[in-house]
Structure 1
Amino acid sequence: MKKELELYLHIPFCVRKCAYCDFLSFPAEKEIQKQYVNCLIEEIRQFDLAEDYVVSTIFFGGGTPSVLEGSEIIRIMQAIRERFPDIREDAEITIECNPGTLTEEKLQIYQKAGINRLSLGLQSADQEELKLLGRIHTYNQFKENFYLARRIGFANINVDLMSALPGQSVESYRCTLKKVCELGPEHISAYSLIIEDGTPFAKRYRQDAAKREAGEKPQFLPSEDEERQMYEDTAEILSEYGYHRYEISNYAKAGYVCRHNVGYWKRVDYIGFGLGASTLQNPLRYKNTDDLQEYLNRDFSKKELLVLTKDNQIEETLFLGLRMMEGVSLSAFEEHFHCPLTVIYQREIQKLTEKGLLRIEKDRISLTEKGIDLSNMVLSEFLLG
């Protein structure tokens, strides 16, 4: 029986680096983009054992994949179909897009290539907040792109949102949530801003922290109380509009969970093609070079190769699986690891259930509402050794 496989294609290019972004992404000339696509196609063609898998999802991530010419996406999809003979008829095929880079022609080409899910990076519906983030688009451009995608026939659209942004108030965030919900996308990903080292935001955050220590009012980010209120508003408002929370930061209408991400959280094998892309072929985990010149020289050798031990796999199963509201199946865990989860983690489970952070119902172990709020602390309890 063939194993399920997910494919990830990393497109590192963007129009302009956002002030908060630490992803492997950067602007590049069209000629570099074409060279990169040629290398990406060559890497796909060199993949061994494609016949052993059935592909269930394909995901173009970045960067901003929609900066590529539509013809390049067609070429990449053709290479995938030629190398992977068994792609499910109902495979979920997603491309990440930023407003300001989409056109009617590109969207029509995506459909022709078999792409059936769009992920639109809005982040905020407030123009001042978008400007502070360094986004290249306006909210009106986002709406135009959203309506255009609907007219062309895309029936599965995700919208990315962020909270705890510079200059953001509780009220402006609620306004963003409601505006997006009124549009009715099938899926919403709502993340809190994380300040990453090496970004322009990191420098401003340090300045803000110094003001806090000096007893001055910070200017950069919302207060902890405001951030907490935004977190609570996310679940409440999205629920009112019919979105089911199925993972800590992801909400979907019935039947529209992101299958690619669910596969990641359930540790389905996935192959990452492109610069810096990661791969999991149980029990192996590795990544590609993140040096553009090396990649353009067709260096597809695997970096950071790690053979996951049984303990590594058990930890990952809990770390990733408990992010989902459905949690982890006890019977599936025991079948795979030949030992009951409740035996391996007997002490941790007892402590966390007594604190009201974890629950066991029938065949599943999952976080409680309180546990979701304290998920980082809860998940750290499942480190073995």
Structure 2
Amino acid sequence: MMIKEMEIYLHIPFCVRKCAYCDFLSRAADEKTQQEYVKTLIKEIRGYGSTYYDRVKISTIFVGGGTPSILTGEQMQHIFDALHQSFQISKDAEITIEINPGTVTDEKLCLWRQAGINRLSIGLQSVNDEELRMLGRIHTYGKFLDSYRAVRAQGFQNINIDLISAIPGQTLESWRETLTKVAELEPEHISAYSLIVEEGTPFYQMYGGSGENKKETQDSLLCGEGTHRYLPLPDEETERAIYEATDELLGRYGYQRYEISNYAKEGYVCRHNLGYWERKEYLGIGLGASSLVEHTRYHNTSDYEKYITGVEGHKDIREEMEKLSLADEIEEFMFLGLRKTKGISAKEFRKQFGKTITDVYGKELKKLESENLLVRAGDRIYLTERGTDISNAVFIRFLDP
């Protein structure tokens, strides 16, 4: 039997306090609840052993949340013991854990290294403490620096730092300060995302909602331990300048953009995320975790009680299972692959789908080229700088050809 490559995403849905902009599946929880979840998560992991151990080799593991670093080092070690017992994990696997400043200890870092974790993703977001308070973050820039130094002291040599732009009250100058200070720390990878105001968050009531709720919340923003006056989002001109400054400034520090929001030093692209954009199979483990397995997308239940009782009772916890059609997979190949700066391969398209990309998207490609949104260079097809700026408008052109 041929062993195929697969990735694993493992979800830890707990955090100290939910941030004002966050719509991820996460919540605060006491130690008893966290321990209950870890026990159930390990049981779910072990349940996959008979299905996958002899069939797949795990190339990357990503532990996300929430705040995975909220768990004890011993809990994380037990989780990875179960992973190593249930799956064949490649010796050179990229294994990432997301961490928040203020939740890291030397003991945790030591146990993570013993468990095989070799890449850390630190949620900084900004070096400006007022911007951090606006976001509802639990840390200051000083606490981040303490955590960063501790991580380096423990020998971790593959670190990502997450940043968010277009924060309320942010200026081009404050964003450039964030980029410069972070780049001078020389992490191997930087993710720079623009703030998206998601429905169901406190930020949506302030910036995206309507009516009385929006008016009430615009008077003040409760985040951290105090009430802060409402600040507007950067205007379109400032947001555009912030976007342009990111590529230019990080480029000067030796970071190459390889995806719309991601920059890396040579040799340090995030292999796990590349797997998503290149449609590699991945197994989601934990509450609400999504999967792509054998041409089918689905996710685990997002209901905590259903998850706990389902795993304990050996019930199927999968929901919204969608068998992808050929048309679905072609569309995904295009709008996920074009997120990468190197774009997609016409040869790979034909290899996967048995037809040429021109047969399927000839008219769309020609029109996008004429509009200076896309370039064809030999085998590669990729977005221009202008196309990257309005990437969502480009991607929609590849739906329902």
User: TM tier, shorter chain?
Assistant: over 0.9
Please give the secondary structure, in 1, of the residue aligned with 2:81.
Answer: helix
Distance 2:181 2:381 in 1: 35
> 2:23 maps to which residue?
22
> 1:214 maps to which residue?
none
8 Å Cα contact 2:158/2:268 also seen in 1:
yes
Please give the secondary structure, in 2, of the residue aligned with 1:381.
Answer: helix
> 1:369 maps to which residue?
385
> 2:222 maps to which residue?
none
Matched, 1:58 2:61: yes
Please give the secondary structure, in 2, of the residue aligned with 1:226.
Answer: helix
Distance 2:35 2:208 in 1: 39
8 Å Cα contact 1:208/1:220 also seen in 2:
no
Structure 1 residue 332: Cα displacement: 1.1
For 1:69, give the aligned amino acid: T
Distance 1:333 1:318 in 2: 9
> 1:151 maps to which residue?
153
Structure 1 residue 282: Cα displacement: 2.8
> 2:71 maps to which residue?
68
8 Å Cα contact 1:43/1:300 also seen in 2:
no
Sort the Cα spacing of 1:46 and 1:323 in 2 relative to 1 into closer, same or farther, 3 A: same
Matched, 1:37 2:53: no
Distance 1:82 1:50 in 2: 9
> 2:86 maps to which residue?
83
Distance 2:209 2:45 in 1: 45
Sort the Cα spacing of 1:255 and 1:345 in 2 relative to 1 into closer, same or farther, 3 A: same
Note the alpha carbon deviations across 1:221-261, whole angstroms, 9 max, x for none.
11110011100011110000000000000000000000000
**Given the two structures, how large is their TM-score scaled by the length of structure 1?**
0.96
Structure 1 residue 22: Cα displacement: 0.4
Distance 1:223 1:131 in 2: 20
For 1:56, give the aligned amino acid: S
Distance 2:53 2:285 in 1: 13
> 1:139 maps to which residue?
141
8 Å Cα contact 2:307/2:317 also seen in 1:
no
8 Å Cα contact 2:97/2:121 also seen in 1:
yes
Distance 2:14 2:358 in 1: 45
Matched, 1:338 2:354: yes
For 1:270, give the aligned amino acid: Y
Distance 2:335 2:36 in 1: 38
Structure 1 residue 112: Cα displacement: 0.8
Instruction: Give the one of 225, 233, 237 matched to 2:249.
Output: 237
Distance 2:160 2:210 in 1: 33
> 2:220 maps to which residue?
none
User: 1:1-385 residue pairs with structure 2 within 5 A?
Assistant: 1-47=2-48, 48-84=51-87, 86-206=88-208, 219-297=231-309, 298=311, 299-385=315-401
Structure 1 residue 206: Cα displacement: 4.2
Percentage identity across paired residues of the two chains: 54
Note the alpha carbon deviations across 1:80-119, whole angstroms, 9 max, x for none.
11011x2111100000000011111111111111000000
Sort the Cα spacing of 1:382 and 1:33 in 2 relative to 1 into closer, same or farther, 3 A: same
Structure 1 residue 219: Cα displacement: 4.0
8 Å Cα contact 2:21/2:201 also seen in 1:
yes
Unmatched tracts of structure 2, length 5 or more: 216-229
Note the alpha carbon deviations across 1:157-188, whole angstroms, 9 max, x for none.
00000000011111011000000000000000
Distance 2:89 2:52 in 1: 14
Sort the Cα spacing of 1:300 and 1:41 in 2 relative to 1 into closer, same or farther, 3 A: farther
8 Å Cα contact 2:188/2:264 also seen in 1:
yes
> 1:215 maps to which residue?
none
Note the alpha carbon deviations across 1:265-284, whole angstroms, 9 max, x for none.
00000000000000001311
Distance 1:45 1:254 in 2: 36
CA RMSD of aligned residues (A): 1.4
8 Å Cα contact 1:125/1:176 also seen in 2:
yes
Distance 1:173 1:190 in 2: 11
Please give the secondary structure, in 2, of the residue aligned with 1:51.
Answer: coil
